[in-house]
Amino acid sequence: MKLSHWMTLAIVMTAALLVGDTAFAADGAPNERGFIALGAGLAIGLAALGGTLGQGNAARATYESIARNPQASDKIQTPFFIGMALIESLVIVAFVVAFSLVGQLG
């Protein structure tokens, strides 16, 4: 996709969020429950996106460095797995935050 398509998508998404009051309103009053659910969805969605990009970049850099210097693979793999675990733990923290937000709905 071109940058102009991403900008258009961002503008449309922002407009949809700003007009979301009417979508979450039950009887004309704003409904906080809808915003909490929206926040939980955004939290886990953005965390999964960031974790995916981070893990992909870490794996790419690791495999490129092992391909350039195969003798150093045993020294590279341990920090790689620790880094992957830390990236995944941040996604799990966002998952817990999203569930705690959803828990406030009940």
Residue 62 CA: distances (Å) to CA of 2, 39, 70, 101, 105: 29, 34, 11, 36, 42
Do the domain assignments include residue 71? yes
| pLDDT attached to residue 21 | 61
**How far is residue 71's CA from residue 57's CA, in Å, rounded to a whole number?**
22
Do the domain assignments include residue 11? no
- pTM score over 0.85: no
| pLDDT attached to residue 101 | 82
| pLDDT attached to residue 58 | 93
| CATH number assigned to the domain comprising residue 57 | 1.20.20.10
Do the domain assignments include residue 90? yes
Over the chain, what is the mean pLDDT?
A: 82
Do the domain assignments include residue 97? yes
Do the domain assignments include residue 103? yes
Residue 96 has pLDDT above 60, yes or no: yes
